[in-house]
Amino acid sequence: MARATRTYDSPLRDEHARLTRRRIIDAAHRMLLGGGYGAMTISALAREAGVSVQTVYNAVGGKADVVKAVYDVALAGDDEPVAMMERPAFRALVAERNPRRWFAHYASFSRSIYEGVGPLVTVLLGQAAAGEPDLAEFAATIERERATGTARVAQLYASRFPLRAGLTVDQAADILWTLTAPEVADRLVRGRGWTLDAYEAWLATTMADSIVGSRRASTS
C-alpha cells in the first residue's frame, strides 16, 4: 500500500516542483527587466516568488543559474525540454523549397525569438558591457549558443540551395549571426520605432539578398 501511494504521489510532486520552478523563473524575469541584475538577489527573488531561499537554490540554482534559466525559457517561450530546431516554426523552414521563402521563414522564427528574449538580453548584455562581472560568462555563453545556431542554419541552407557566388558557409553563418543579433532588432524596433512586421520583412530580404543573391537568380 505504501509503495502504491509513493507511485501515485510522484507525478504530483513533479508537477508541483515544475510549477514552483516556473514561478521562480517568472519572478526573476520581472525583476531583471525592472531593476536589473544587481537588484535581483536570491533573497529578494524568494520573496517575489513567495518561496524560501533554499527552494530557489533547490529548484533553479544560484544567481547565474537563475539568469540562464530565465533566458532559456524566454527564448523558447516555455520550459518544455524541446530543442529550438525541433519546434514547429523551425520545421516549417526545413520543409520550404524556395530559397527566398526559406529566409522569410527564418526571419519569422528570429522575430519570435526577439519578441521573447530581446528586451531581457538587451538589459543583461548592456549591464555586462558596463562591467558587471557576473554577467560576463552569461554574455559569452549566449553568444556561443547563437553562433552555433546560426552555423547550423547556414549549413542547413547550403545543403539545400546554392550560396551566392564567392560566399562560404562560414561567411554565411557570420552574416546570419550578425543580422539576427538581438541588439540589431532592438535598435530598429525600440530605437527607431520600426514595427515588428517591418523588422521581419527587412530581415527576410536582407538575409536573402546577402546569401541567395539577386531575386532573378534565386526565384523558382
Q: Report pLDDT for 215.
A: 43
Please provide the DSSP assignment of the chain as one string.
Answer: -HHHHHHHHHHHHHHHHHHHHHHHHHHHHHHHHHH-TTT--HHHHHHHHTS-HHHHHHHT-SHHHHHHHHHHHHHHSS--S--GGGSHHHHHHHH--SHHHHHHHHHHHHHHHHHHHHHHHHHHHHHHHTT-GGGHHHHHHHHHHHHHHHHHHHHHHHHHSPPPTT--HHHHHHHHHHHT-HHHHHIIIIIT---HHHHHHHHHHHHHHHHT--HHHH--
Q: Which residue has the higher pLDDT, 197 or 142?
A: 197
How far apart CA 216 and CA 204 sit, in angstroms, is 16
For the entire predicted model, the pTM comes to 0.75
Q: Report pLDDT for 35.
A: 84
The CATH number of 1-63 is 1.10.10
How far apart CA 58 and CA 70 sit, in angstroms, is 16
Q: Which residue has the higher pLDDT, 123 or 47?
A: 47
**Closest C-alpha among 34, 61, 58 to residue 48:** 34
CB 196 within 8 A of CB 162: no
Query: Cα torsion for 60, 62, 68, 69, to the nearest 10°?
Result: 10
Q: Report pLDDT for 220.
A: 41
At 79, is the pLDDT very low, low, confident or very high (cuts 50, 70, 90)?
Answer: low
At 106, is the pLDDT very low, low, confident or very high (cuts 50, 70, 90)?
Answer: very high
Q: Report pLDDT for 200.
A: 97
How far apart CA 176 and CA 49 sit, in angstroms, is 37
Domains of the chain, by residue range, sit at 1-63, 82-218
Q: What angle do CA 72, 74, 79 make, to 5 degrees?
A: 60
Q: Report pLDDT for 205.
A: 96
Domain spanning 82-218, CATH class: mainly alpha
What average pLDDT does the chain have? 85
Q: Report pLDDT for 13.
A: 80
